[in-house]
Structure 1
Amino acid sequence: SSRGKERKSRKSIFGNNPGRLSPGESATLAKASGKGPFDVMRQTWEDPCSPYNSPASLSAIIRTPKCYHISSLNENAAKRLCRRYSQKLIQHTTCQLLRTYPAATRIDSSNPHPLIFWLHGVQLVALNYQTDDLPLQLNAAMFEANGGCGYVLKPPVMWDKNCSMYQQFCPLERDLDNKEPAIYSLTIVSGQNVCPSNSTGSPCIEIDVLGMPLDSCHFRTKPIHRNTLNPMWNEQFLFRVHFEDLVFLRFAVVENNSSAVTAQRIIPLKALKRGYRHVQLHNLHNEALEISSLFINSRRMEESPSGNTLPASTLFSMGEKKAAVTHKVTIHGVPGPEPFTVFNVSGGTTAAQLLHQLLATTKDTESCAADYFLMEEKSFISKEKSECRKPPFQRVIGPEEGLVQLLNSWFPEEGYVGRIIFKTREENLNERNVFQEAKEDAAISSEDDSFFVQVHDVSPEQPRTVIKAPRFSTAQDVIQQTLCKAKYSYSILSNPNPSDYVLLEEVTKEPANKKSSTSKPSQRILSDQECVFQAQSKWKGAGKFILKLKEQVQAARDDKRKGISFTSELKKLTKSSKQYRGFISPPLQVLPDSPQSKDERSACSLTFSDITE
């Protein structure tokens, strides 16, 4: 039938009807005897000299001869092409437009994930705009970086012949040998009003890294119970990225009890600036929430290639484009009114080039570049106030050392802050001598001006502690340092005031005779302003300091006073009774020369017996 002939003549659903003329083609077709226009066109397509007859070209399969023709595929057909002909599909989209749309089976108007199609160079990914889901939010983030104009340039690996991985890039590959990924550090510090509709929820943050399958990962913070106004997380996550051009970060605020997403935001990884930033959150309809944000800290750490491995960022991008990217470097100690100066450098700028640029800005014609140098300084950060502060680490930066690589090698997570200082040779020599003298003086003074003291009975969790204190420290100073070291104890938290405590000195003197038993230890309470070092130096035997509450000491004093008063009264009573007994006995003796009469003796004896009773 005629309908069957039309089906046979329709070679592909992706191309135009061969029986009709394409726009731009000439109206005259050379007809051969017994051959239709389609047969002539088929001969031209099947010509061995034709570029579309190449077995490595996908255009021979979908039959799209003109560059302005657009092939429309549903998502299932596009996914099959992505899985089977990954590199061929990327090669085809370098000179042809391709469009994909949701499958007809999506009766709920859901959307396919557009990222897999973007990774294969598909220019147009149609979505259902009536459904606010993750693919639609990802599509908005894709075109948000350039103001939503609707056009985004493909990554260079898909179209630039000067790229190292051109026509070798396979997005679905899970093993990239000899390619070192970039390491990203992301810290979720805090949030501000993360759940506008619920003020008593328990929010947690879910971070999704969306990219090629090798780079995709998922993280989740701990929940903060019943605090959506200003939750604090302070959690750090590290992840590796090979293909940075098409990677997105998704932040989702999730209610821990119901697992419901209350706010979200998707941003391209390339648009994420280094350092501390506030990320404004959006609702589920992708509308901005004015007072909801996340406070984060992000930084990119340079790859550390070893052996035959190469950084993945250089393989997936153009060398000229990477060198053209400008970076800002802060130099301290430059002559001028400001304490530091900011310079713009490229990815390949060395220390010698920056030094020449710096001397040109200072307008010092008499100076020579050999008289100056750049120094790297790392200042260590002490986590506790009582911790001894370490001296900064300094080294001279080599003339051929790259500055961007130096900045990316700093790891503030290890507890230090780095900076670059502009120095002169003479200044460095003087500082070395001063530093050496100061170091020697500090060593001598540290040995002479400090001492170690051990305090007992600090808390049930910490029976004793040893602290290093200056020699002029008073009892209150030692008590304050002791409480700082035991600040997480429950007993200390209930009484955190140092003025509520006293130091009890307990010294056991050595016995004069070795055969005699050990002597009883003597105790006394140090006054608040008494020097502990002087008290410790007066010990002639074993001694220790005990931390006591003033209430406990006062109660012990009261009990002791009561015991002393009771003992003294008892002694007086027993002594008086002995005296009474000794005084009664003499009247019972009969003296010959006694002038007393019998009546007086009997009266006297009765009187004392009454008293004793």
Structure 2
Amino acid sequence: MFAKYLPLQLNAALFESGGSCGYVLKPVVLWDKNCPLYHHFSPLDRDLEGLCPAQFTLTIISGQNVCPGNTAASPCVEVDVLGMPADAAHFRTKAAHRNALNPMWGQSFQFPVVMEDLAFLRFTVLEHSSSQVTAQRILPIRALRTGYRHLQLRNQHNEPLEISSLFIYSRRADENTTGNTLPASWLFSTEERRSAAQHKVTVHGAPGPEPFTVVCVNERTTVSQLIGKLLSSCSPPSDVFLLEERQALTRERGDRGEARGKPSLQRVLGPEEEVLKVLNSWNPEEGYLARLCLKTKEESLPERSPVPEGAEDLSSAVTDEDSFLVHVHDVSPEQPRTVIKATRHSTAQDIIHQTLSKSKHSSGTLSPPDPSSYVLMEEVAKETPGWRAPPKSVQRVLCENECVFQAQSRWKGAGKFILKLKEQVQTVRDERRRGLSLAGELKRLTGRSRGVWMGAQAGGLELSHSKEERAACCLHLTETWE
């Protein structure tokens, strides 16, 4: 049954990307003289030396109504890589016992692919006991995009099943070239075609009615060029920057049962970084989901004291190399965080003054906030030893004259600066001191009571107290330990 329908299904998948009409060219390596392997490659070769294949990761997460008409079936999914003999592979998931309505598999497979232009992926849903094919779908591996998506299934006649689908995750990793090996995708294509290939990138926070914008980029598109595309009809690109945000996939629970998630990671992308390289560096196996966000940059610098007579004013000499970006959190109830641009010699008091000058406060505020009433606190996540131990956050209040750039440069993990009132910090310190003093007093009383009681027992002395007094002493010791 598989061999009967397979040629028609493959033919439909080949022309599907073009609307099932027109023609499809052969791979470039078979007809373009500018391709490095032109006349030096045969698809039937099994031993391909000097080529480094692309690594694909495919996860079959779940399904929806994968066996139409039989919800009590036990389905499983077979995945076949069809193409060159060197790329052929076969995988099979476990069976979901008597659940064809919403089966859960959650199984991952990894496989290399050398010739991506000739490779296809076939998803086949089988009933475990009878091995009957209930649904299928064939896709060119070039059409498989990175990320999570629902894949609509079809029957054996390649007719769509409207309510049958698979929920999958796919990822293509960069080739790891070592020694004399070269990326297969580079050898099977030309430089002109690689630069002309378009890739879709989603950017959050871009101007427009939607919360995100999809932009087409090529292999060499830089961050500054991407910002120029997003803001071609708005403000100049120098007013914004591109931020890489990574959020934790799962939240682990601590000893007391409360949810403790990994801290979110944020990084400002450089203007000359290539966008596709940034996207290819994202790996959900590390426990994070990433996205690109367009953020507004604060260009104002902290106020400086007047320049003495005879001294040279160097304010005009400040360049991007002399400045850095600072993320400050908990600025005000109306503004949970902000990003400012400051000079590298700025102190904590300078950052506080600059943050408050740009902060948003409610209209009920009569006077602007006083910078001397605030402190700048740094919070750094430090990895704890142990298997899957969640990271711990360490907080520290910066001195008024401490250099913020040097403090940020010492971070070895995720970190952030928090704006705090001095009253709040002092209250927390007082509570900690009261807790320490109470613990010390309990320890002193416990040690003294235990020493008297144990000393009397060890000496074998007859105490002159009555039974009631000894019982009261024992009760006092018990209460102290509690």
TM-score band, normalised by the shorter chain?
A: 0.5 to 0.7
Q: Give the deviation of 1:362 after TM superposition.
A: 2.2
Instruction: Write the distance in 2 (CA, Å) between the matches of 1:523 and 1:139.
Output: 89
Higher relative contact order by CA 8 Å / sep ≥ 6: 1 or 2? 2
- The residue that corresponds to 2:452 in the other structure is 512
Instruction: Give the direction of change, closer, same or farther, for the CA distance of 1:235–1:287 in structure 2 (3 Å limit).
Output: same
Q: Is the aligned partner of 1:399 residue 2:351?
A: no
Q: One-letter code of the match for 1:376?
A: E
Match of 1:443 among 395, 401, 412: 395
Q: One-letter code of the match for 2:450?
A: E
Q: Which has the higher helix share?
A: 1
Q: One-letter code of the match for 1:431?
A: H
Q: Give the deviation of 1:159 after TM superposition.
A: 0.8
Instruction: Write the distance in 2 (CA, Å) between the matches of 1:396 and 1:308.
Output: 35
Q: Give the deviation of 1:340 after TM superposition.
A: 4.3
- The residue that corresponds to 1:415 in the other structure is 287
Q: Give the deviation of 1:339 after TM superposition.
A: 5.0
Matches within 5 A, 1:345-494: 345-364=217-236, 369=238, 373-385=241-253, 386-423=258-295, 424=297, 426=299, 429-431=325-327, 437-439=377-379, 443=395
- The residue that corresponds to 1:53 in the other structure is none
Q: Is the aligned partner of 1:258 residue 2:126?
A: no
- 1:328–1:343 CA contact under 8 A, matched in 2: yes
What SS class does the counterpart of residue 327 from structure 2 fall into?
helix
Instruction: Write the distance in 2 (CA, Å) between the matches of 1:151 and 1:241.
Output: 24
Matches within 5 A, 1:269-308: 269-308=141-180
Deviations, residues 239-297 of structure 1 (Å, cap 9, x unaligned) = 22111111111111122223332222222112233333322222233333333221222
Instruction: Write the distance in 1 (CA, Å) between the matches of 2:294 and 2:394.
Output: 27
Identity %: 51
Instruction: Give the direction of change, closer, same or farther, for the CA distance of 1:302–1:450 in structure 2 (3 Å limit).
Output: farther
Instruction: Write the distance in 2 (CA, Å) between the matches of 1:307 and 1:539.
Output: 72
Match of 1:181 among 53, 71, 80: 53
Instruction: Write the distance in 2 (CA, Å) between the matches of 1:134 and 1:449.
Output: 75
Instruction: Give the direction of change, closer, same or farther, for the CA distance of 1:178–1:540 in structure 2 (3 Å limit).
Output: farther
Instruction: Write the distance in 2 (CA, Å) between the matches of 1:134 and 1:335.
Output: 47
Q: Give the deviation of 1:376 after TM superposition.
A: 2.6
Deviations, residues 501-524 of structure 1 (Å, cap 9, x unaligned) = xxxxxx99736332455999x999
- The residue that corresponds to 1:4 in the other structure is none
Deviations, residues 279-321 of structure 1 (Å, cap 9, x unaligned) = 2222233333333221222232332434543221121123222
Q: One-letter code of the match for 2:188?
A: F
- 1:302–1:405 CA contact under 8 A, matched in 2: no
Q: One-letter code of the match for 2:395?
A: A
Q: One-letter code of the match for 1:379?
A: Q
Q: One-letter code of the match for 1:244?
A: E
- Under a length normalisation based on structure 2, what TM-score does the superposition of the two structures give? 0.61
Q: Give the deviation of 1:426 after TM superposition.
A: 4.2
Instruction: Write the distance in 1 (CA, Å) between the matches of 2:101 and 2:152.
Output: 15
Matches within 5 A, 1:198-217: 198-217=70-89
Instruction: Write the distance in 2 (CA, Å) between the matches of 1:450 and 1:262.
Output: 65
Instruction: Write the distance in 2 (CA, Å) between the matches of 1:425 and 1:173.
Output: 58
Work out the number of aligned pairs and report it.
343
Instruction: Give the direction of change, closer, same or farther, for the CA distance of 1:384–1:270 in structure 2 (3 Å limit).
Output: same
Q: Is the aligned partner of 1:225 residue 2:66?
A: no
Instruction: Give the direction of change, closer, same or farther, for the CA distance of 1:420–1:145 in structure 2 (3 Å limit).
Output: closer
Instruction: Give the direction of change, closer, same or farther, for the CA distance of 1:449–1:266 in structure 2 (3 Å limit).
Output: farther
Match of 1:328 among 200, 204, 207: 200
Q: One-letter code of the match for 2:379?
A: K
Instruction: Give the direction of change, closer, same or farther, for the CA distance of 1:329–1:142 in structure 2 (3 Å limit).
Output: closer
Higher Cα Rg, which structure: 1
Instruction: Give the direction of change, closer, same or farther, for the CA distance of 1:288–1:382 in structure 2 (3 Å limit).
Output: closer
- 1:243–1:313 CA contact under 8 A, matched in 2: yes
Matches within 5 A, 1:5-20: none
Q: One-letter code of the match for 1:381?
A: L
Instruction: Write the distance in 1 (CA, Å) between the matches of 2:83 and 2:119.
Output: 4
Instruction: Write the distance in 2 (CA, Å) between the matches of 1:155 and 1:325.
Output: 14
Q: One-letter code of the match for 1:514?
A: M
Matches within 5 A, 1:48-197: 132-149=4-21, 151-197=23-69
Instruction: Write the distance in 2 (CA, Å) between the matches of 1:362 and 1:310.
Output: 42
- The residue that corresponds to 2:188 in the other structure is 316
Q: One-letter code of the match for 1:437?
A: M
Instruction: Write the distance in 2 (CA, Å) between the matches of 1:260 and 1:517.
Output: 80
- 1:510–1:540 CA contact under 8 A, matched in 2: no
Deviations, residues 149-204 of structure 1 (Å, cap 9, x unaligned) = 37322111111111111111121223333322222222212111211243322111
Instruction: Give the direction of change, closer, same or farther, for the CA distance of 1:540–1:410 in structure 2 (3 Å limit).
Output: same
What SS class does the counterpart of residue 266 from structure 1 fall into?
strand
Q: Give the deviation of 1:334 after TM superposition.
A: 4.5
What SS class does the counterpart of residue 252 from structure 2 fall into?
coil
Q: One-letter code of the match for 1:295?
A: F
Instruction: Give the direction of change, closer, same or farther, for the CA distance of 1:397–1:216 in structure 2 (3 Å limit).
Output: same
- 1:382–1:388 CA contact under 8 A, matched in 2: no
Instruction: Give the direction of change, closer, same or farther, for the CA distance of 1:227–1:333 in structure 2 (3 Å limit).
Output: closer
Instruction: Give the direction of change, closer, same or farther, for the CA distance of 1:208–1:363 in structure 2 (3 Å limit).
Output: same
Q: One-letter code of the match for 1:400?
A: E
Instruction: Give the direction of change, closer, same or farther, for the CA distance of 1:387–1:287 in structure 2 (3 Å limit).
Output: same
Deviations, residues 190-230 of structure 1 (Å, cap 9, x unaligned) = 11121124332211111001111221111111111011111
- Under a length normalisation based on structure 1, what TM-score does the superposition of the two structures give? 0.49
What SS class does the counterpart of residue 207 from structure 1 fall into?
strand
Instruction: Write the distance in 2 (CA, Å) between the matches of 1:152 and 1:341.
Output: 30
Unaligned runs of 5+ in 2: 301-323, 329-350, 356-375, 381-392, 397-424, 436-445, 459-469
The ranges of structure 1 where at least 4 consecutive aligned residues each deviate by more than 6 angstroms after the TM superposition are: 447-451
Instruction: Give the direction of change, closer, same or farther, for the CA distance of 1:229–1:214 in structure 2 (3 Å limit).
Output: same
Instruction: Write the distance in 2 (CA, Å) between the matches of 1:328 and 1:358.
Output: 13
- 1:511–1:517 CA contact under 8 A, matched in 2: no
Instruction: Write the distance in 2 (CA, Å) between the matches of 1:430 and 1:225.
Output: 53
What SS class does the counterpart of residue 245 from structure 1 fall into?
helix
Deviations, residues 14-71 of structure 1 (Å, cap 9, x unaligned) = xxxxxxxxxxxxxxxxxxxxxxxxxxxxxxxxxxxxxxxxxxxxxxxxxxxxxxxxxx
- 1:132–1:285 CA contact under 8 A, matched in 2: no
Of the structure 1 ranges 235-244 and 149-158, higher mean CA displacement relative to structure 2 is found in 149-158
What SS class does the counterpart of residue 243 from structure 2 fall into?
strand
- The residue that corresponds to 1:84 in the other structure is none
Instruction: Give the direction of change, closer, same or farther, for the CA distance of 1:349–1:199 in structure 2 (3 Å limit).
Output: same
- The residue that corresponds to 1:244 in the other structure is 116
